[in-house]
Structure 1
Amino acid sequence: MSQVAENLRGFLARVEGAKYKVGEDTLTKEFQEIRNRSAAFKQDNDYSTEAGGSQENLKKNRYKDILPYDQTRVPVTFLAEEIGSDYINASFIKGVDNQPRYIATQGPLSHTLVDFWRMIWQYQVKVIVMACREVEQGKKKCERYWPLDEEPVLHGPFAVSTVAKVKVNPEVVFRNLKVTFQEETREVGHFQYIAWPDRGIPDSYSCFLEMIKLVRQHQGQHSTPMCVHCSAGCGRTGVICTVEYIQTLLHKQKVPSDFSIFEVVMEMRRQRPSAIQTKEQYDFLYHAVTEMFEKQLNDLNHNYENLKQNKTPYYDDVAPQLKTSHAMAVYRKNEHSARTSLSLEGSDMNDMYAKVQKKPPPPSSSLSLPTTTENQSPTSSHHQYDNFRPRPIISKPAEQLYSTVPPKPNRSSVRPVSSSYAVIDTSGPPEATSKELSQGTIPSAAIKKTLSIDNMRVNNRWSQNIASNYTVISECHARSLDEYEDVTDPAKSRPPTEGIGFNCRIGKPKGPRDPPPEWIR
């Protein structure tokens, strides 16, 4: 379907193949390689931690071994002249567009709450993701920086209040915070994952992926970074940043053919130390990404089937060109329907109808075909067919004459026929029994005699219609079928009231009785 789908399938195939390597734990080897390479960063001058390790800033770190790199640390210059320092234990992590997408930071300490809100205000953060509780296993993991009720809480010059609180799922809570500095007020969305133990993994992949999706939706098109933190700002924080990064790759259809979680994690660790801290978290990352890719492929297949059936796709991430082709198909279908309706009901079509037809249509609000009731005689049919002469009877075998029903004549497709019509004699008709007539075994001599009602003593009403509707043709002239005889001519032997209608060459039986088997065969 697309190159992105092929890349996703390729990654899933590699992951599936790694499971069947006997005696080899691929993920364990990968994570050990990540730790080995990360340890080598300390020997590189590009990964220094002088700012975090300085004597004046050591007290601002929750853990002494988790310090931000100087090259990626977040400087807080807002109100720095009053506070006296621009340091906070936080690191920038780039997103898909190679711009700072995340601020990975530690959980605020009691004496760094003002620094935390200075950072949020300076970088105009719209979303905060918290991956821990305030207290875990009896230890303080993060200072609460929001109020429990609507009453605002002051953190230095910042007034913070909770506008609303919603439980997204059993493991995620969302709060809408309002932050006021002087006379300016901003709203900040706060997601807290309450079921993620320290150095562990969440209990549910679905709840976790749902939170990541909501975070991206809440962030929207804002170019400002989102703030992600746990207690140390590395293990759980690294998992969230990595999964959100990969989900953005999916959304923008930028998953490369050589996509590797190993390389993504290594890139995270180059910007934030110890990102994804344990082997268990690395396993969780693989499972979460695999589930996300499988769901994306299912959505692509579902959208493809909808487009094949000329249906609207259910998901907003469908490629624009597919939506355009679907819209054009619907437009052409509606255009065809509009033209058909116009040809039947439009005034322009009525004008053209009046020019083409020899006679104007009867005055009515809608076009309809002439109808005839069951009790109507052939002479009371539509006036346009009153003067039509029936098609002459051509000499045929009796089986063909009585066992088949000839089609109605079509004036637009008739052709001149030969004048060699059979002459039916009227002298002394032989006797024809009802059995011979119904079975189609009438002698050939009988066909040349008069078919009168007296000689056709048959109980079949279908035979009576034949006898009453067919006249004796005494002579035959060479003429085309387009020339019709006026059956109402007084010179004819049959009275005008018994004129023949257009459809009465072989009458269809009327009444409850069924036609003979030869007629319906």
Structure 2
Amino acid sequence: MELLPSLLDRLKAVDSRTVEQEYNVVRSESLTLKRDLGLTTETGALKENIKKNRYKDILPYDQSRVVLSLPTSGSSSDYINASFIKGASGDCRYVACQGPLSSTVCDFWRMIWQLDVKVIVMACREIEMGKRKCECYWAAARQVAAFGPFTVSNQGESRPNEDIVLRNISVSFQQETRSVVQYQFLSWPDHDVPYETSGVLDLLDRARNSQGFHSSPMLIHCSAGCGRTGVVCALDYIHDLLVTKQIAADFSILKIVLELREQRPSAVQTKDQYQFIFTAAISMFERFLQASVQQLHSNLPELKKPEKRSITTPAASANRSSQQRNMNDTYAVVNKSKQPLPPAPTAVATPRSSGGTRTLPPSHHYDNDPAGASAAPIYSSVKPRAKPLSHSLSATPIYDIAAPANHKATEGAEYQLVSAEHLSAAATNDDDYEDFSSSVSDMTSLCSPGGIGFNCRVRKPRGPRDPPAEWSRLER
């Protein structure tokens, strides 16, 4: 496999001009080989066989033709337009055959049965460009057809992709039944090439999988059994060279095609088909290299990834423990008192004028509390600095004042978070609340629209009477 990258580079370096020159060599050398090797086509040219040839200029060589030996009641002739093709190992790997005529379908099945063919690759359609290229030698899906003494049953059809039709065929002869798989490639025009190589390579992969280790030859045919059939044989031959590791430094597609033409006339029939072999071989080599790399990686022992371990120092361990304890003490508290707090009482006095006590909510459970429900909850509250205004009209404050009306008096005022116990202890001390001035001006400011947002002034009645006492004094 060390040669494969260099061979791949060599194939990629071949341009269209070189391909044309090589194909001209193929054509001229084919005539020389036919003359030097003494290849003849006398059997196919016999009067009784001439009508069995689809094309009069494509006749099998007598030296490599398939000789029918299976006698049937309908036909005793030994001729069929088909040739044996050797594989990379030197055995008869393929049978290159023309598409059967209506008069040769029976001979076609005679050959299949005689050679025990398991896989058929059909590289054409039945009708192309308005002309019949191949007789339908199978039955319709789920149907049965008789061709002489052979009963052919189509067990089912499928479409692995848009290019291929897969048929599972059962053929019976003299109370014996065999199975045959047929792959029909639909995207290969006559005297032309497919628009991409992946379809043909996929076709060959499927055919090889169906063939398995069966020793019988694979039957490949198109219409004449030379152009498209020769390309398929050449590509599978190259694949066998790769698999069996017989590919050498002198690898040459020209030599392979010439070997095919020694066994089947006009194999690889056009320059475009010859060029297609180069393109498909490049794709095949790239696939093979990629598969080899993946296999190499899969055979390597898996490298264990080192575990991530953190280096813990005594100081870091102590710091982490301290952070854990602090986290356990922090529940829903916005801010805690700087001094340590004793356990919270179950009831605290409220600053309401009605007096009495207010019972705190029951202990709350926290997920991060190691002591569970037994831990006393810590609460926080907002503590104002001065006493609220006590008005003579009411014993209790009129409003829950959020912001003091006298901005100057409260400039720089802050709110502090204190514990519930501290708040309970200071609840009886009036000095904990803000005390407003009792002057008339302060009261006017308090009740002005710009103060707390409401007009609290009692309107002066009209008429000559004494003003009420509430206007001139405030009761403390």
| Structure 1 and Structure 2 fold alike (TM over 0.5) | yes
**Aligned match of 2:170:** 178
**Aligned match of 2:149:** 157
For the Cα contact (< 8 Å) 1:46–1:71, is it kept in 2?
no
**CA apart distance, 1:45:** 5.4
Deviations 1:274-323 (A, max 9, x none): 11100001111100011110111122222223334538xxxxxxxxxxxx
Deviations 1:128-184 (A, max 9, x none): 000000000000100000011322100000000110111111111110000001210
Q: Tell me, what secondary structure is at the counterpart of 2:159?
A: strand
**Aligned match of 1:131:** 123
* 1:34 maps to 2:26: yes
Match of 1:200 among 192, 195, 198: 192
**Aligned match of 2:78:** 86
* 1:8 maps to 2:4: yes
**Aligned match of 2:230:** 238
For the Cα contact (< 8 Å) 2:12–2:282, is it kept in 1?
no
Q: Tell me, what secondary structure is at the counterpart of 1:50?
A: coil
- Structure 2: which 5+ runs fail to align? 305-317, 319-476
Larger helix share, 1 or 2:
1
User: 1: distance between equivalents of 2:143 and 2:73?
Assistant: 30
Deviations 1:97-151 (A, max 9, x none): 2110101000000000000000000000000000000000000100000011322
Q: Which amino acid aligns with 1:149?
A: A
Q: Which amino acid aligns with 2:62?
A: D
* 1:277 maps to 2:269: yes
For the Cα contact (< 8 Å) 1:80–1:86, is it kept in 2?
no
**Aligned match of 1:266:** 258
Larger strand share, 1 or 2:
2
* 1:17 maps to 2:13: yes
User: 2: distance between equivalents of 1:250 and 1:181?
Assistant: 38
For 1:69-108, what aligned pairs fall within 5 Å after superposition? 69-79=61-71, 83-108=75-100
Q: Which amino acid aligns with 1:48?
A: T
**CA apart distance, 1:82:** 5.4
User: 2: distance between equivalents of 1:144 and 1:201?
Assistant: 23
* 1:141 maps to 2:133: yes
Q: Which runs of 4+ in 1 moved over 6 A?
A: none
Compared with structure 1, are the counterparts of its residues 45 and 240 closer, same or farther at alpha carbon in structure 2 (3 Å cutoff)?
A: closer
Q: Tell me, what secondary structure is at the counterpart of 1:91?
A: strand
Q: Which amino acid aligns with 2:154?
A: T
Q: Please, what TM-score do these two structures have when normalized by structure 1?
A: 0.57
User: 1: distance between equivalents of 2:196 and 2:9?
Assistant: 24
Q: Tell me, what secondary structure is at the counterpart of 1:162?
A: strand
User: 2: distance between equivalents of 1:188 and 1:13?
Assistant: 39
RMSD between superposed Cα atoms in Å: 1.8
User: 2: distance between equivalents of 1:74 and 1:298?
Assistant: 39
For the Cα contact (< 8 Å) 1:176–1:190, is it kept in 2?
yes
Q: Which amino acid aligns with 1:9?
A: P
Q: Tell me, what secondary structure is at the counterpart of 2:141?
A: coil
- Structure 1: which 5+ runs fail to align? 312-329, 331-373, 375-521
For the Cα contact (< 8 Å) 1:176–1:187, is it kept in 2?
yes
Q: Which has the larger radius of gyration?
A: 2
**Aligned match of 2:206:** 214
For the Cα contact (< 8 Å) 2:45–2:59, is it kept in 1?
yes
User: 2: distance between equivalents of 1:310 and 1:251?
Assistant: 27
User: 2: distance between equivalents of 1:9 and 1:245?
Assistant: 19
Instruction: Work out the number of aligned pairs and report it.
Output: 305
Q: Tell me, what secondary structure is at the counterpart of 1:83?
A: coil
Q: Tell me, what secondary structure is at the counterpart of 2:215?
A: coil
For the Cα contact (< 8 Å) 1:49–1:70, is it kept in 2?
yes
User: 2: distance between equivalents of 1:159 and 1:184?
Assistant: 10
Q: Please, what TM-score do these two structures have when normalized by structure 2?
A: 0.62
User: 2: distance between equivalents of 1:116 and 1:230?
Assistant: 13
